[in-house]
Amino acid sequence: MTTTMMPRAVELLRPGDDGYDGATRGFYTSARPGLLVRPRGPDEIAAVLARAAHDDLRVSVRSGGHSPLEHGPDPREVMIDLTRCDGVEVLDPVRRLVRVGSGATWGRVAAALDPFDWGISAGDTNSVGVGGLTLGGGVGWMVRRDGLAIDNLVGARVVTADGRLLTASEHENPELFWALRGGGGNVGVVVDLDFVARPVGTVRFGTVTYRADDPVALLGRWRDVMRSAPDELSSTLALPPHTPGATPTATVLVCHAGGPDAATPDAAIEPLFRIGTVLGTDIGSCRYAAILEDAVPPAGVRLVVRNALVTSLDDAVAAAIAGFRSGRTAVAVRSLGGAFARVPSDATAFAHRDAEAMVVGLLIVPSGTTGPEVEGALVPWRAVADRGAGTYVNFQGSATAEDLAAAYPPRTLARLAAAKRAYDPGNRFAHNHNIRPTHDDPGVRT
């Protein structure tokens, strides 16, 4: 355990302290840092960074604690927990400009914006943190209508490795702002983020469940419906773990966010009733804030997540997905396109704007399953990954050089490395899909 002295006013927890285990527990994996600190704002964050640099401690940053990356015990790590930076403040009601603390959860944000009939498209789960989800990109229930969470971001306040508080926007520190939008927390500690919220109140939301004896055909027909769907409709096709002998099922989740004046949400959803043998439907009208779900990781298991962004959800991809399916895997295929696709690929550090869908594969194995056993169980995933044009860091539970290359095309990686050199040349923020300041500059290719 580290004996470092942190600034006196900052709340901190060490192993053995009351609340330490809960504070360091993550969705996929629990961390065991030597010290967890809870700064209340930029000054305290800067003081913690200065102290960590002085004592040569490794730094990690936590907002909602849902990082998919392994997080082993490290007595020389200080974890900056942003739980105390969780405000949600309307800065300008006319522009719908909202400042959100990184440590807020998306459930809290949705609840705070609900009375205004506003929302920010950002994930499907209440407990996910604003900081981590946004910095990776943020795929939400209105992704086809409003784009990624980062596409609705207009500014951020960031404490960089040297303790400076910088504002990042299109006009101030624009390269920092670019790197924040998809670069995954590589360039500083984000204190809060300014979003333009979108009008949303009541949505049509729910599920259609099918027999899935032929998942390849079902995926193809779902893809065809989504190709001609209006942007207001976002959808996910989920394949739960399949036990041999049981009736195979698939569930399509839909969210139609047309607002109170939407002409025909049900007309947009209706074609989905004809893509397979429907076993049941449950679609109704509810507030956007009510559709975010609570997710609790099951006890006694290890969850491992991978994803692939595919430019065309063709039969070869669908067959690879079907090949990954087993009693210990779950797959969610999320429709993209629409507003997501209209953002130029170099406008943000999330470059894969030509992806038609994101395939998320979850492996569920007993806790204690070793790394090599996990790799063995992931062999069937390789066929899906090989057909992907890229990955999304927020659903990628490994961070090899290959993963980085899949997340960031060469030009993006080069530009991120340049931002890293400018804002974190010593690589203080390395507990992530790490962009090294020393990365060569492959972006010179023309």
Q: Which residues in the 165-204 window bind ligand FAD by CB under 6 A?
A: 185, 189-190
Q: Is 101 in the site for ligand FAD (CB under 6 A)?
A: no
Residue nearest to ligand FAD (CB): 132
The CA-based angle 128-132-138, given to 5 degrees, is 75
Q: Is 128 in the site for ligand FAD (CB under 6 A)?
A: yes
Which residues lie below 8 Å from residue 164, measured CB to CB, with a gap of 6+?
46
Tell which residue, 360, 305, 222, has the closest CA to residue 29.
Answer: 305
- The Cα 413–Cα 306 span in angstroms is 20
Query: How many residues comprise the chain?
Result: 446
Which residues lie below 8 Å from residue 171, measured CB to CB, with a gap of 6+?
none
For the CB of residue 60, give the shortest distance to ligand FAD in the complex, in Å. Answer: 6
Cα→Cα distances 67→28, 417, 433, Å? 7, 22, 10
Q: Is 163 left (phi over 0), alpha (psi -120 to 50) or beta?
A: left
The residues with which 74 forms a beta bridge, in sequence order, are 33
Half-sphere exposure of 70 (CA within 13 A, CB side): 12
Residue 6 or 31 having the CB closest to ligand FAD: 31
For the CB of residue 401, give the shortest distance to ligand FAD in the complex, in Å. Answer: 18
Q: Is 350 in the site for ligand FAD (CB under 6 A)?
A: no
| Backbone dihedral angles phi then psi of residue 368, each to the nearest 5 degrees | 100, -10
Q: Is 125 in the site for ligand FAD (CB under 6 A)?
A: yes
For the CB of residue 396, give the shortest distance to ligand FAD in the complex, in Å. Answer: 10
The SS3 assignment for 1 reads coil
**DSSP one-letter string for 335-388:** E--GGGGGS-TTSSS---TT-SEEEEEEEEEETT--HHHHHHHTTTHHHHHHT-
Q: Is 136 in the site for ligand FAD (CB under 6 A)?
A: yes
Q: Which residues in the 225-254 window bind ligand FAD by CB under 6 A?
A: none
x/- contact string, 30-69, with ligand FAD (CB under 6 A)? -------------------------------xxxxxxxx-
Q: How many residues bind ligand FAD (CB under 6 A)?
A: 32
Q: Is 330 in the site for ligand FAD (CB under 6 A)?
A: no
The SS3 assignment for 16 reads coil
Q: Which residues in the 377-406 window bind ligand FAD by CB under 6 A?
A: 394-395
- The Cα 120–Cα 419 span in angstroms is 27
Q: Is 129 in the site for ligand FAD (CB under 6 A)?
A: yes
| Inter-residue contact 212 to 149 (CB < 8 Å) | no
Q: Is 27 in the site for ligand FAD (CB under 6 A)?
A: yes
For the CB of residue 263, give the shortest distance to ligand FAD in the complex, in Å. Answer: 27
x/- contact string, 251-290, with ligand FAD (CB under 6 A)? ----------------------------------------
For the CB of residue 269, give the shortest distance to ligand FAD in the complex, in Å. Answer: 20
Binding site for ligand FAD (CB under 6 A): 26-27, 61-68, 82, 102, 123-125, 128-129, 131-133, 135-136, 138-139, 185, 189-190, 295, 394-395, 431-432
